[in-house]
Amino acid sequence: MQPLLYDNTLDTLFMVWWSTFYAVLIGIPVGVLLHLTGRGAMLQNVVVFKALGTLANVGRSFPFLILIVVLIPFTRLVVGVSIGPTGAVVPLTIAAVPFFARLVEAALREVDKGLVEAAQAMGGGTWTIVFKVLLPQALPALVAAVTTTVITLIGYSAIAGAVGGGGLGNLAYTYGYQQYETSLMITTVVELILLVTLVQLLGDLVVRRLASRGTRASSVRVGLRRARSEEPAAVTEAA
Amino acid sequence: MITTTGLTKVYRSGDREVTALDGVDLHVREGEVYGVLGQSGAGKSTLIRCLNLLERPTSGTVTVAGQDLTALAGRGQRANAALRAARSHIGMVFQHFNLLSSRTVQDNVELPLEILKVDRRERSRKALELLDLVGLADKAGAYPAQLSGGQKQRVGIARALAGDPKVLLSDEATSALDPETTRSILTLLRDLNRQLGLTIVLITHEMDVVKTICDSAALMKNGRVVEAGTVAELLATPGSELARELFPVGGEPSGEDRTVVDITFHGSAATRPVISELARTYNVDISILGAAMDTVGGKQIGRMRIELPGRFEENVVPIGFLREQGLQVDVAAEAGPTDAAAIPAPAAPLEKEAAK
C-alpha cells in the first residue's frame, strides 16, 4: 500500500505541476491580450477580444470529463499517448488556460488606471506598461490566481486519474472504490485535502508578503529588496 | 511655451455627445506658473490631458516648446514613438500621486529613465539627485505605502523631473493634501520654477493655489476659458470674476440711495491714506463694508468695499478723485443702470496682452 500511495502521489504532482506550468505560460499572454484589447483599452480590438473571449468561455463551459475524451486525438498528437499522467497533462492544460487567463484579465483590471496614465505620460509604450506597470502591480493577484488554478487542477487531476490518468484519483477509484479498500480511499482523500490546504496556505503567504510591501516591511527586508534590486525578475519567477 | 488653438474635445457615448472642451485658446509663456481654475466638470482635467495628448483633442492644435504635438501621428489611444519621445520631456504630477506600490521610491523615480533607456548607474545617480532636490534623500529605499501624502507627492515631482522636462503639468497635485502640506508642495513647485526655469501649468479648484504661486491664471467654465491673463491684469480688470474670487470683499449696502464702490490698491497706492483724504476733501461720510490686504503673485494688493451716501450721480466727483489717485474703482452693479458705461475699460483685451 505504501509504495502505491507514494507512486500515485508523484503522478498527481507531476500532472499538476506541468499543467500549471503550461497554463501559466499560455494563460498570462492570453490574459494580457484580453485585457489590452477590451473596450476602451490601449489596443482596443473587438475582433481579437471577442474571439479570445468566446474561446475562453467555450473552454470553461466544457465538462472536464468530456473534454478529456474529445481531446484524445489531439493529446496523442502532442505527447504521443492519451493515457497515464503524461496524457492527462494536455487536457488539464487546455482546461486550465481559459480559466487562468480570465483570472489574469481580472487581476490586471484591478490595476489603478492612474498608474497606466502616469506611465503613458512618461512616454511609455504598451510594452513598458505591460511589463513595468501591469504585471508587477498585479503580482499579488496573479499569485492568488495561480493558487486557485493549482487547486482546481488538483481536483481535475483526480477526475483525469479516474479515466486512466494515474495519480491519487486513480488510486482512490480503482483500489478504494472498486476493491472496497475503504481505508486506502480515506487516506487518499485526506492526502488530497492536505495537498490543497498546503497549496492554499503557501499561496496566501506569498500574496500577503507581496501585498504588504512597504506597509509592514521592516528596514531589514527593505535592505534585502534593495540588494536584490532587479525587480522585473520577480515577474518571471512567478510565471 | 505652450499654445493651444481652438482646442475642442467631444466625448461620445452612444448617441449622447458631451463637449468637454469648446474651443480653448491657451497661451503659457516660458518660465511662468500658469493656473487653470474651474469647478469640477469645467473641463480643466481634459484640458491638461490634451496638453500631452493623453487625450486626443477632437480638433485644434497643441504646441509645446515649439513642437506641434497634434501633428505627431498615433492612431486612437496608441501613441507613436515621436509622441512618446515628446511626452517623456513633459513632466506630469497627479492628484493621487500614481506611484507604483510594487517599487521603492528610488525605483519609481527611475521608471521614466528606464523608459528613456538610461543605463543603470546613471539612473541611480539621477534618481538620488532628484530625491535630494525634493528633500527625500533618506527615503530612497522606502516603499510608497510608508510615506505620507506630501512625501508621496514629492516623489511624484521627482519622477516628473527625471526626463529633464521644460514643462511640468500638475493635475490637482495638492487637492488630496492638507493645507500645511499643500503649502510646502507649492513652495517646492515655486522653487523648481525659479531654479530650473520650469514652466508649470497647474489645474486646481483651489483659489489659494493660484494666489500663492501663479503668475497667470485662466478661469474655465463649461469647457471654455472665460478669463485669462496675468494675475496683475486680472486684478486690474473691472468685473473680473477671477479677481473677485482671488480677493473677495463682502458687505451689503446698508440702505437705498447709497453707492457701493470697490477699490483695488496696487503697489504704492496701497500705502497712501486715500480714504481719509477723500473724506476730508469732499466732506463725505464713508462706511467701510469690507476690506482685505493680501499678497497675490508676490505683490501687495489691497481691496476695499466702501459705501458713499447718495446715488451714483451725486458721487461722480469723489469717485473721479479716487480714480485720479491711480486706484482701480468699480462701482457695484446694483447701484444703477448707467454705471456700466461710466466705468472705463482700462486693460485692453487680455488675450492680446498674453500673446506678447
Amino acid identity of residue A57, one-letter, is N
Give residue A181's pLDDT. Answer: 82
Return the CATH superfamily for domain A2-238.
Answer: MetI-like (1.10.3720.10)
Chosen from B11, B53, B95, B98 to mutate, greatest number of chain A CBs within 10 A: B98
Out of B133-147, B194-208, B226-240, B332-346, pick the least confident.
Answer: B332-346
Per-window interface: A 34-63 vs B, CB < 8 A: 41-44
d(Cα B176, Cα B179) in Å, to the nearest integer?
10
Chain A environment of B152 (Cβ under 8 Å): none
d(Cα A128, Cα B87) in Å, to the nearest integer?
14
A149 pLDDT more than 90: yes
Of the candidates B64, B69, B50, B39, the residue with the CA atom closest to the CA atom of residue B9: B50
Chain A environment of B139 (Cβ under 8 Å): none
d(Cα A179, Cα A170) in Å, to the nearest integer?
12
Of the candidates A87, A222, A198, A79, the residue with the CA atom closest to the CA atom of residue A147: A198
Chosen from A39, A122, A215 to mutate, greatest number of chain B CBs within 10 A: A122
DSSP summary character for residue B101: T
Give the up-direction half-sphere exposure of residue B149: CA atoms within 13 A in the CB hemisphere: 16
Chosen from B102, B103, B116, B124 to mutate, greatest number of chain A CBs within 10 A: B102
Provide Rg for chain B, Cα atoms: 24
Give residue A119's pLDDT. Answer: 94
B148-165 pLDDT tens trace:
999 999 999 999 999 999
d(Cα A204, Cα B219) in Å, to the nearest integer?
51
**Are the beta carbons of B278 and B284 closer than 8 angstroms?**
yes
Average pLDDT of the residues of chain B = 84
User: Per-domain residue ranges for chain A?
Assistant: 2-238
Give the up-direction half-sphere exposure of residue B191: CA atoms within 13 A in the CB hemisphere: 11
What backbone torsions phi and psi does residue B195 show, to the nearest 5 degrees?
-70, -40
**Are the beta carbons of A30 and A38 closer than 8 angstroms?**
no
Average pLDDT over residues A84-111: 93
| DSSP helix/strand/coil, A174 | helix
Chain A environment of B88 (Cβ under 8 Å): 122-123
Beta bridge partners of B64: B2, B67
Helices (DSSP H) in chain A: which residue ranges? 2-37, 46-61, 64-70, 72-79, 84-109, 113-121, 126-128, 135-160, 168-171, 182-211, 219-228, 233-238
d(Cα A199, Cα A193) in Å, to the nearest integer?
10
Confidence of residue A83 (pLDDT cuts 50, 70, 90): confident
d(Cα A29, Cα A51) in Å, to the nearest integer?
15
A236 pLDDT more than 80: no
For the domain made up of B2-235, give the CATH fold: Rossmann fold (3.40.50)
Of A42, A123, A226, the CB nearest to B115: A123
Which residue in chain B is spatially nearest to A134 when comparing CA positions? B100
Beta bridge partners of B293: B302
**Are the beta carbons of A101 and A34 closer than 8 angstroms?**
yes
| DSSP helix/strand/coil, B294 | strand
| DSSP helix/strand/coil, B255 | coil
Whether B2-235 and B248-343 share one fold: the answer is no
Asked if B13 reaches chain A (Cβ–Cβ under 8 Å), the answer is no
Contact check, Cβ <8 Å, A214/B92: no
Of the candidates A177, A176, A157, A180, the residue with the CA atom closest to the CA atom of residue A167: A157
Which residue in chain A is spatially nearest to B93 when comparing CA positions? A118
Give residue B77's pLDDT. Answer: 55
Beta bridge partners of B304: B263, B291
Taking the CA atoms of A123, A128, A134 and A139 in sequence, report the sign of the dihedral they define. negative
Give residue B344's pLDDT. Answer: 41
Confidence of residue B296 (pLDDT cuts 50, 70, 90): low
Give residue B74's pLDDT. Answer: 63
Residue at grid coordinates 492612474: A114
User: Per-domain residue ranges for chain B?
Assistant: 2-235, 248-343
Give residue B75's pLDDT. Answer: 53
Return the CATH superfamily for domain B248-343.
Answer: ACT domain (3.30.70.260)
Which residue in chain A is spatially nearest to B54 when comparing CA positions? A121
Chain A environment of B78 (Cβ under 8 Å): 42-43, 126
**Are the beta carbons of B43 and B220 closer than 8 angstroms?**
yes
Confidence of residue A233 (pLDDT cuts 50, 70, 90): very low
Confidence of residue B342 (pLDDT cuts 50, 70, 90): very low
Contact check, Cβ <8 Å, B142/A222: yes
Contact check, Cβ <8 Å, A128/B115: yes
What backbone torsions phi and psi does residue B250 show, to the nearest 5 degrees?
-90, -165
Contact check, Cβ <8 Å, B78/A43: yes
Asked if B144 reaches chain A (Cβ–Cβ under 8 Å), the answer is yes
Percent of chain B with pLDDT over 70: 88
Confidence of residue A28 (pLDDT cuts 50, 70, 90): very high
Out of B22-36, B101-115, B231-245, pick the least confident.
Answer: B231-245
Chain B environment of A123 (Cβ under 8 Å): 84-89, 112, 115-116, 163
Contact check, Cβ <8 Å, A122/B98: no
A187-225 pLDDT tens trace:
888 988 999 999 999 999 999 988 877 665 444 444 444
B232 pLDDT more than 50: yes
Contact check, Cβ <8 Å, A118/B96: no
Give residue B119's pLDDT. Answer: 93
Contact check, Cβ <8 Å, A226/B141: yes
Give residue B339's pLDDT. Answer: 39
A238 pLDDT more than 50: no
Average pLDDT over residues B116-139: 94
- Give the Å distances, CA to CA, from B72 to B2, B126, B169: 16, 29, 20
Residue B171 Cα to chain centre, angstroms? 11
Per-window interface: A 86-145 vs B, CB < 8 A: 112, 114-115, 117-126, 128, 132-133, 136-137, 139
